[in-house]
Chain A
């Protein structure tokens, strides 16, 4: 009986598949259960982060030049519009000053102590997640600036997300409208608590609000401070729709985010300690 010899090309193929499968298994085994980036990943994040920073700066420069050009073309018309707007703003500002003075008086009357806000840090967005399934951002601040995993990220308008991963000079932010994100929140008017979850689109879902709770369109949702991730009182959004189905204990509440995620440029990271447990 003639014994068939294994061809060198077949051996090469087996070797290749063996090697690739080994690497695949190594990746899977090293990844499962790991909640932090390893050193090569952190290094990669730093290196590519520099590239993203340069491209963002260049694009910012080009955008500024273009905006200046457009501004010069429209300067006369805009000047008039701005004058009118300034008058309106001055009038509104006067009202706000009055409201602020009243607020201060009421605070003194109630002897409410203002809690000290934790230190904050401004960060610029240098990268956005291109995938369809995730909503994350890369910012130009990292561990050298004091950023840690789990720190809350906000803007003047409200909650934006949480720090997910950090390297020395950059960090990854998990946005609040990512389906994997959840924030403890409450309805401002009646203090009913629930959990706001991302849906991937420009809306949230607020869960665990009982049917007997008084919720209406336009109600403001703020962070509850529970869980320690976010400080209390930061705006999350406003109720855009309320549905009470026949079955179940809870209402279906859709929340419109207070932040426009497509127009984010600069973010504020709240440098609070022990913001998230691993």
Chain B
């Protein structure tokens, strides 16, 4: 599976989220398809490409968001390791887990970035806002499944072999044996 389509898609989403979506009124502009793509990349892509894309996405986000260099690569890589560790006992690749996975991951990254920024600048006012966070989590829950389907479609169109693998792969085998 080549990384290029996901690099283009991620960059495009970031451009839209920083230029077009903020112009929309109220909650409509708070959708975060970029984050769903990030989780998709961690879950679906092989570990090597997944890790590379996560670092790229982190560095790209760093340029256009925040004031501390290295904050987002660290947060996204931490998420990567968390998901990879959780995928040992849990079957995170299955559709029923998609929404809880994305929502939990978003909350994890939000908390981690907040923790790091608080640590880096302890005297500044905290911007923790439950209402805003819940709105964003709900919006993420809303778009997760359609976007996962879209990304799956993109991936299978780009790699028919992979699609065949997903379709043929037996579901009742021992999932604890084949980590990664």
Q: Which residues of A contact B (CB under 8 A)?
A: 9, 12-13, 16-17, 19-20, 23-24, 27-28, 30-32, 34, 37, 40-41, 44-45, 47-48, 51-52, 55-56, 59, 126-134, 136, 138, 164, 172, 174, 178-180, 197-200, 205
CA distance A59 to B19 in the complex (A): 9
Binary flags per residue of B120-135, CB closer than 8 Å to A gives 1, else 0: 0100111101001100
26 contacts between A and B (CB under 8 A): A9-B178, A9-B180, A20-B77, A24-B73, A27-B73, A31-B68, A31-B70, A34-B69, A37-B63, A47-B11, A48-B11, A51-B12, A51-B19, A52-B18, A55-B19, A55-B20, A59-B19, A59-B23, A129-B65, A130-B22, A131-B113, A133-B113, A134-B66, A138-B64, A180-B121, A200-B125
Other contacts beyond A34-B69, A130-B21, A132-B133: 9, CB < 8 A: A12-B47, A44-B63, A48-B18, A51-B11, A51-B19, A59-B19, A59-B20, A133-B114, A180-B67
A180 shortest CB reach to chain B, Å:
6
Answer yes or no: B51 CB below 8 A from chain A CBs. yes
Number of interface residues of B (CB under 8 A): 49
Which single member of B74, B124, B129 contacts A132 (CB below 8 Å)? Answer: B129
Whether A127 pairs with B18 at a CB distance below 8 angstroms is yes
Count: A-B pairs, CB below 8 Å: 133
Interface of chain B residues 99 through 124 with chain A (CB within 8 A): 110, 113-114, 117, 121, 124
Whether A179 pairs with B124 at a CB distance below 8 angstroms is yes
CA distance A180 to B120 in the complex (A): 10
CA distance A37 to B14 in the complex (A): 19
Residues of B within 8 A of A40 (CB): 59
Q: Whose C-beta in chain A lies nearest to the C-beta of B125?
A: A179
Binary flags per residue of B42-82, CB closer than 8 Å to A gives 1, else 0: 00000110010001000110111111111001100100110
A104 shortest CB reach to chain B, Å:
42
CA distance A31 to B71 in the complex (A): 9
Max count, chain A CB within 10 A of own CB: residue among B22, B32, B65: B65
Which single member of B32, B47, B110, B133 contacts A130 (CB below 8 Å)? Answer: B32
Whether B70 pairs with A27 at a CB distance below 8 angstroms is yes
B110 shortest CB reach to chain A, Å:
7
CA distance A30 to B18 in the complex (A): 26
Whether A133 pairs with B16 at a CB distance below 8 angstroms is no
By secondary structure, the B interface counts as helix
Residues of A within 8 A of B16 (CB): 55
Residues of B within 8 A of A17 (CB): 81
B60 shortest CB reach to chain A, Å:
6
The verdict on A24 contacting B20 (CB below 8 Å), with A44-B59, A164-B67 known, is no
The verdict on A30 contacting B70 (CB below 8 Å), with A133-B127, A134-B65 known, is yes
Residues of A within 8 A of B20 (CB): 55, 59
CA distance A52 to B18 in the complex (A): 7
B17 shortest CB reach to chain A, Å:
5
Residues of B within 8 A of A19 (CB): 48, 51
Whether B69 pairs with A52 at a CB distance below 8 angstroms is no
Answer yes or no: B179 CB below 8 A from chain A CBs. yes
Whether A134 pairs with B55 at a CB distance below 8 angstroms is no
The verdict on A130 contacting B65 (CB below 8 Å), with A16-B180, A200-B127, A205-B125 known, is yes
CA distance A55 to B64 in the complex (A): 15
Residues of A within 8 A of B136 (CB): 132
Whether A130 pairs with B17 at a CB distance below 8 angstroms is yes
CA distance A24 to B74 in the complex (A): 7
Whether A129 pairs with B18 at a CB distance below 8 angstroms is yes
Q: Whose C-beta in chain A lies nearest to the C-beta of B24?
A: A59
Residues of A within 8 A of B124 (CB): 179-180, 197
Whether A133 pairs with B81 at a CB distance below 8 angstroms is no
